[in-house]
Structure 1
Amino acid sequence: MIRLIRFLLLVDLLFALSQPLQAQPLPMAVTPGEAGINQGRFIGVVVGTAAFYTVTLLLLRKQWYKKKMPFHMFNDNREWLQMDKVGHTATAYCMSRGGYELMRWSGVNERASILTGGLLALLFQTTLEVYDGHAEGWGFSKGDMVANVAGTALFMGQQFSAGQQIVSMKYGFRKTIYPPFRPNLLGKTTGQQMLKDYNGQQYWLSVNLASAVPVGPDFPRWLNLDVGYSGSGMTGGHENPPMTDGDGKAIAFKRFRQFFVSPDVDLSRINQPNPLQPLPWQRFVGTVQFFKIAAPSLEYNSVKGLRFHPLLLPRE
């Protein structure tokens, strides 16, 4: 899937949404004089991302959706130990947060920025699901849409209620032994494997401790505790196909889930005087810090039990 690309494209649809949002009875900024919109930033964000978004969608249609079919549904809820669904949730969260921060940077007020970021994320994700619904080998997935809504709700709910992201979502990756067995499905290069090999992906819920629990003034506000999820042993969606090695001997991988706990650092909260009023650079650092920083972790899975990893997760 194209999760990392999606994050960079979300603001293109702003022109289509900006006028309807202005008509709603929200305290939304519509002109520089009314609420401080920075016209130069606003136009720059819209125009720049619009061009990038349009070109990328055209490329995706050419590379990922070559053969068009009548619209159809596809139930993939049991595939890949639900790693794909967690990935959709993380993507929608990241897109919602990115759209919100771009709007705030442009001078749009808080409430309108939250709504715009969430709506843009859902609209973009829904567009891709419709593409899937017309694609050979794919289909419109209700499970994907539920995950998209969940990720958007995670961002919007926290921003409306707490004014900050106490819990964020992050992504991790490690190379695994599985892609050589099915390179067309799991990826031939490292870049492809980061998007296709679910065995190598981890998704983390990152909780900022100082925002979640009562702590003293000297407690580091940048310290997070992450809970991660991954899957391993997967060379097929629902089940692994029969495989043999070079000598013709059967190869069987056991599919299992992995659960992790690890400390983390929120770089945007270092030297942050007020979490409800972050500086502009802190906003964007928090948004683009989508990758989990390497740190010691504790893992549990049903095959290998409890394991401690000093820094990086080992190659499976």
Structure 2
Amino acid sequence: MKHWMRGAICVGLVIIILGQSVRAQPMPPTTTMPGASDPQGIREGRFIGVLIGTAAFYTITLLMLRKQWYKKKVPFHSFNDNREWLQMDKVGHAATAYCMSRGGYELMRWSGVNEQASILTGGLLALLFQTTLEVYDGHAEGWGFSKGDMVANIAGTALFVGQQYGAGQQVVSLKYGFRKTIFPPYRPNVLGRTTGVQMLKDYNGQQYWLSVNLASVLPVGPSFPRWLNLDFGYSGSGMIGGHDNPPVFDKDGKEVKFERYRQFFISPDADLSRIGTFSPSLQRFIGTAQFFKIPAPSLEFNRVNGLRFHPFLVPKE
């Protein structure tokens, strides 16, 4: 499908969780092990609300997509887009699937569903959404079913499900960051005209982060901050086309050429869902809302500029 719509869907899911969480009474903390039944059992009102909200979100999203993006249906076909956008779209697929898996899980747990059923439901909901969209792509003119996208969708879902089943927590998570770039004015129809659209369409401005909780992987003492994470980021720059950059010109008619290159980052981060003073309902929302990385100093390496330090935000370029 249009690659940016997946990000919009994940944002919508976060909004749903926020709407549910702010209306919730705090769930008292439990000491049950992963897989055990919630001692309070299913909270019927919440559970029904989540089922109705999820079904409505799924149905409305698909109807809107069919009306706006899939007007002309063609026979099912596939295409290979694995080399596009320096694989930024594939990382985005994995991050979106992870976000949706975690969001579905958190909603189920907030509703009182037991741990194992919530993990399974969250993963299946994410794959249902993603697979449906891939099938739509397979019938869309100018697009097609992408095996690479499906592999990324499964990988993102497996990252959440595997950790939650195996460790009972998210030792590593996937996050998203954004900065403005100079590239959209050269191809606004592709990269977006406004900041909101560019956040979803301009791969030059997006960063995807693998966030590692240090207290979960290092032998630290009880005084070590349990919320401290270390993030490893990936992005690309110089891209105004999927495979290659088409010719573009400045206001004086001179051709402008951009070099395409990969960027790698390392940055501190915080997992606010591990702060024990928050209510369990708020912790569940924060766990999903943290799909957006907190701005922090970072160290970048790329083959064009070498090693660079950014004191706060990655600068516009």
TM-score w.r.t. the length of structure 1 is: 0.89
**Aligned equivalent of 2:97:** 92
For 1:106, the equivalent position in structure 2 comes to 111
Describe the shift of the 1:150–1:87 C-alpha distance in structure 2 as closer, same or farther (beyond 3 A).
same
- Identical columns (%): 77
> Equivalent of 2:242, from 220, 232, 237?
237
Higher deviation after alignment, 305-314 or 66-75: 66-75
Q: Paired residue for 1:142?
A: 147
- In structure 1, which of residues 180, 203, 207 is the aligned counterpart of residue 208 of structure 2? 203
Write the letter of the residue equivalent to 2:52: V
Distance 1:4 1:140 in 2: 18
Match in the other structure for 1:227: 232
Residue in 1 that maps onto 2:264: 259
- Counterpart contact for 2:178–2:199, Cα < 8 Å: yes
Please tell me the root mean square deviation across aligned C-alpha atoms, in Å.
Answer: 2.0
Q: Distance in 2 between matches of 1:135 and 1:109?
A: 39
Q: Letter of the aligned partner of 2:102 in structure 1?
A: R
Corresponding letter in the other structure for 2:190: L
SS for the counterpart of 2:141 is: coil
The match for 2:9 among 6, 9, 17 is 6
Which of the pair has the greater relative contact order for Cα pairs under 8 Å at 6+ separation?
Answer: 2
* Alignment partner of 1:76 out of 81, 85, 97: 81
Could you list the runs of 4 or more consecutive aligned residues of structure 1 that deviate by over 4 angstroms after TM superposition?
none
- Paired with 1:128 and 1:244, the residues of 2 have a C-alpha distance of 35
> Structure 2: how far apart are the matches of 1:95 and 1:227?
21
Contact 2:230 2:267 in 1 (8 A): yes
AA matched with 1:179: P
Query: What is the aligned residue count?
Result: 294
Cα separation, 1, equivalents of 2:255 and 2:241: 16
Check whether the contact 1:9–1:50 (CA below 8 A) recurs between aligned residues: no
Task: For residue 148 of structure 1, report the CA deviation from its aligned partner.
Answer: 0.3
Aligned to 1:311: 312
**Local SS of the residue matching 1:114:** helix
Are the structure 2 counterparts of residues 124 and 163 from structure 1 closer, same or farther at C-alpha, using a change threshold of 3 Å?
Answer: same
Aligned letter for 1:288?
A
Q: For 1:111 and 1:214, locate their aligned partners in 2 and report how far apart those are by CA, in whole Å.
A: 28
Given that 2:58 and 2:129 are in contact with CA atoms closer than 8 Å, whether structure 1 keeps it comes out as no
Q: Give deviations 1:178-216, integer Å, cap 9, x for gaps.
A: 111001011111111111100000000000101111101
Give the Å deviation of 1:126: 0.2
Q: Is the 8 A contact 1:224 1:266 kept in 2?
A: yes
Say if 1:28 and 1:112, in contact at 8 Å, map to a contact too.
Answer: no
**C-alpha separation between the residues in 2 aligned to 1:80 and 1:272?**
42
Output the CA distance in 2 between the equivalents of 1:191 and 1:57.
21
Q: How far apart are the structure 1 equivalents of 2:253 and 2:286? A: 51
Residue number in structure 1 paired with 2:28: none
Instruction: Find the aligned partners of 1:5 and 1:296 in 2 and give their Cα distance.
Output: 27
CA drift of 1:176 comes to: 0.6
